[in-house]
């Protein structure tokens, strides 16, 4: 089953007319039916997946992404650590970044990189250390 057929099936199951989907997203009438290869351009795939409330991966492959997601508590913990780190970096005198005094933009970029790393580490740890009896596979 290709992505066009998958979109049609989801719309059929949810009783959403294809014409309504096309109209809501600003596509021309009959656009989805005219795609012969069954593949959407990336920008339109994203719009369709958001409208239907599914992932783009699901529309392309038919499989849900098995990657563990962060809970609100995990996000709050990461945010707390980042805020403490931000305060320490902002209050520190003589902080240098790449040979120059650290600007607020440089500190923000450091914190953004830290956030990405912490989120990836949390997800990987959830995958690795969750006991088998709690896994959904």
List all residues 6 or more positions away from 99 whose beta carbon is below 8 Å from its beta carbon: none
| 44 and 88, same domain (yes or no) | no
129: domain range? 72-134
Classify residue 76: in a domain, yes or no.
Answer: yes
Q: Which two tokens stand for residue 135?
A: 């896994």
| 54 and 82, same domain (yes or no) | no
| 76 and 57, same domain (yes or no) | no
Per-residue pLDDT of the chain (137 residues; tens, 9 = 90+): 788 888 889 999 999 999 999 999 999 988 888 876 777 787 888 888 888 888 887 888 777 655 557 888 999 999 999 999 999 988 888 888 778 888 888 888 889 889 988 988 888 888 888 787 776 65
Beta strand extents in the chain (DSSP E only): 96-97, 100-101
| 52 and 103, same domain (yes or no) | no
53: left (phi over 0), alpha (psi -120 to 50) or beta: left
- Grouping H, G, I as helix, E, B as strand and the rest as coil, residue 116 is helix
| 42 and 80, same domain (yes or no) | no
Contact in structure between 16 and 24 (CB atoms under 8 Å) = no
């Amino acid at each position: 089953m290709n992505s066009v057929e998958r979109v049609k099936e989801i719309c059929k199951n949810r009783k959403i007319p294809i014409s309504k989907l096309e109209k809501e997203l600003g596509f021309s009438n009959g656009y989805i039916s005219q795609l012969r290869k069954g593949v959407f351009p990336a920008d339109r795939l994203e719009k369709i997946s958001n409208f239907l409330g599914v992932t783009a991966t699901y529309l392309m492959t038919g499989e849900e992404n098995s990657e563990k997601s962060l809970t609100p508590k995990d996000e709050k913990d990461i945010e707390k650590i980042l805020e403490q780190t931000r305060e320490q970096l902002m209050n520190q005198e003589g902080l240098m970044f790449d040979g120059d005094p650290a600007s607020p933009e440089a500190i923000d970029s450091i914190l953004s990189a830290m956030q990405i790393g912490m989120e990836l580490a949390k997800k990987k740890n959830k995958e690795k250390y969750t006991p088998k009896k709690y896994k959904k596979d």
